[in-house]
Amino acid sequence: MSSGLADILEGEPRFGGAMPRFLVRHAKTISVVAGFVLGVIGTAWSFIVVDRLGEAMRQLSDTKADLTQQVQSLNSIASEYFIANQQGDLIFILALQDSARQEVASLIYKGNMLDRGTPVRNMIGALAIAKQLDYRQTYDAYEKLNDEARANLSFANFTQLKQAEQVVIAKGQARVPLLQNSLFEVEKAMNANGAAQKRSRVIGFISSIFGSFLLLLANLIAQSRAPD
Q: What is the pLDDT of residue 108?
A: 84
For residues 77 and 17, the model is more confident at 77
Rounded Cα distance between 27 and 55, Å, is 41
Once rounded to an integer, what is the mean pLDDT over residues 105-127? 89
Once rounded to an integer, what is the mean pLDDT over residues 55-59? 88
Q: What is the pLDDT of residue 8?
A: 45
Rounded Cα distance between 193 and 57, Å, is 7
For residues 166 and 25, the model is more confident at 166
Residue 212 backbone phi and psi in degrees, to 5? -65, -35
114 closest CA partner among 161, 65, 178: 161
Q: Are the C-beta atoms of residues 213 and 34 closer than 8 Å to each other?
A: no
Report the range out of 11-20, 107-116, 185-194 with the highest average pLDDT: 185-194
Question: Residue 20 above 90 pLDDT?
Answer: no
For residues 155 and 66, the model is more confident at 66
Question: Residue 106 above 60 pLDDT?
Answer: yes
Q: Give the mean pLDDT of the chain.
A: 77
Q: What is the pLDDT of residue 193?
A: 87
Q: Of all residues in the chain, what percent carry a pLDDT higher than 70? A: 64
Once rounded to an integer, what is the mean pLDDT over residues 89-100? 74
Q: What is the pLDDT of residue 6?
A: 44
3-class SS of residue 174: helix
Q: Of all residues in the chain, what percent carry a pLDDT higher than 90? A: 41
- Reported residue count of the chain is 228
Q: What is the pTM of this model?
A: 0.68
For residues 85 and 97, the model is more confident at 85
